[in-house]
Amino acid sequence: MKTLLIVYHSMTGGTRQMAQAAAAGARSETGLRVCLLCAADAQAADVLDAGGFIFATPENLAAMSGKMKDFFDRTYYAALDKLSGRSYATLICAGSDGRNAAQQIERIATGWRLRRIADPIIICTHAQTPEEILRPKYIAEQDLRSCEELGATLASGMTLGIF
């Protein structure tokens, strides 16, 4: 059975909600195992066992979070040259624009020779003050639906052998 691995980090809950929505969408597809892991818990073996990926991170200081960076640091070389052609998508919960975090993940995915199946979903919370940045995030229902649809699309493509 193929596995879709969703790796995320979330400090204030926004990215976790997005990752959970993507997982719910992916689980609507039968014949696929969906593995939702916090970045701190994900290991190289999880990456190697997966047939597709969703990487979800908050934007922290105009970059992916340190915990996501740590995940990639711990798994990158163990998976190098072993993932070519597998599909991925990206979810970003941003305070401003999220583009740099998405670009960082894209560069790592390029090194792994992954195939991007969609543009990154970047949800901007517009949190700019320390209080807003640290406050728990609540992602709008329509944005969560977009994440759910992305999860379902990647899962369907994997099940049908398109991705």
> DSSP letters of 18-84?
HHHHHHHHHHTSTTEEEEEEETTT--HHHHHH-SEEEEEEEEETTEE-HHHHHHHHHHHHHHTTS-T
63-78 per-position pLDDT tens digit: 999 999 999 999 999 9
Confidence band, pLDDT 50/70/90 cuts, at residue 30: confident
What is the predicted pLDDT for the residue at 47? 98
Using alpha carbons, list the distances in angstroms from residue 89 to 66, 126, 132: 19, 23, 27
What is the predicted pLDDT for the residue at 101? 98
- Whether 29 shows a pLDDT value over 90: the answer reads no
What is the predicted pLDDT for the residue at 158? 97
Confidence band, pLDDT 50/70/90 cuts, at residue 114: very high
- Asked whether the beta carbons of 68 and 104 are under 8 A apart, the reply is no
Q: pTM for the full model?
A: 0.97
Confidence band, pLDDT 50/70/90 cuts, at residue 1: confident
Confidence band, pLDDT 50/70/90 cuts, at residue 84: very high
47-64 per-position pLDDT tens digit: 999 999 999 999 999 999
| Percent of all residues in the chain with a pLDDT value above 70, rounded to a whole number | 100
What is the predicted pLDDT for the residue at 143? 98
Mean pLDDT of 22-47: 96
Domains and their CATH numbers in the chain: 2-160 (3.40.50.360)
- Pairing relation of β-strands 52-60 and 2-8? parallel
Task: Determine the 3-state secondary structure of 105 from DSSP.
Answer: helix
Confidence band, pLDDT 50/70/90 cuts, at residue 45: very high
